[in-house]
Amino acid sequence: MTAPDMIGVILKGLGLGLLLSVSVGPVLFTIIKLSMRSGHKAGFAFAGGVSASDTFLVITGNMAAELLRAVLHYENTVALTGAAILFIMGAWSFFFRKDPRMDNKPLDPSLRKRDMAKYAAQGFLINTLNPGAIFFWLTTCTAFAYMPLGERSLLFGSCLLVVIAVDLSKVVLSGQLRKWLTPHTLHIINRLSAIILMAFGLIIAGSVLYNVGKN
């Protein structure tokens, strides 16, 4: 893999990580509430559990994509199918998904001593059992199935680094984020995430078709 190709793969991973990071869902709200109620250490433990879950889902998704490629022998078709699903997910989110709402009820800022493993396990389970996270990772891994394993490892590695870095930042900035997440802001984030998701589907499809034409 040449240096330009490596840079391109890393940029795709960074973009994918940013897409997942700006998505508004139960993980973001839980990080904010937990950090304000039980302190930053609890928030960091929860974010660590979420990161472990994302890593688990990425490994599982790539194993499934490899198996699918080996069985069907049509990696380009598999990748185009995944890209189409990503585009459809973005379109559905843009036109039909309801904007999430931030619970603005008063929070208890008192720091409660809890076992940090409990918060980590909570983060892992909430993310792993979230159908949206499962579907997103499996679809994304399928969409990038046309890439060699080494390139996919670099792509998803850079993606996961961005996700955990942003999640840790959410813990530190939890107080400011809670004030900033107004209904209008959540609406904009929801629309922006949908547009980026559709763009990713188109970019992946374009990459696959370009490689087909090149070969």
> What span, in angstroms and rounded, lies between the C-alpha atoms of 160 and 90?
21
**Cβ count near 78 (within 10 Å):** 21
pLDDT, residue 55, reads 93
With a threshold of 0.85, does the pTM exceed it?
no
Q: Which long-range contacts (CB under 8 A, 24 or more apart) does 72-77 make?
A: 75/145, 75/146, 76/146, 76/208, 76/211, 76/212
> What span, in angstroms and rounded, lies between the C-alpha atoms of 168 and 44?
6
pLDDT by 10s per residue, the chain, length 215: 677 778 888 888 888 888 777 765 667 777 777 777 777 888 888 889 999 999 999 998 888 877 766 665 566 676 677 677 777 777 876 777 665 555 555 455 554 556 688 888 988 988 888 777 887 888 888 778 777 888 888 999 999 999 899 888 888 887 676 666 666 666 676 677 677 767 767 877 777 777 667 66
Closest C-alpha among 36, 62, 34 to residue 157: 62
> What span, in angstroms and rounded, lies between the C-alpha atoms of 18 and 62?
20
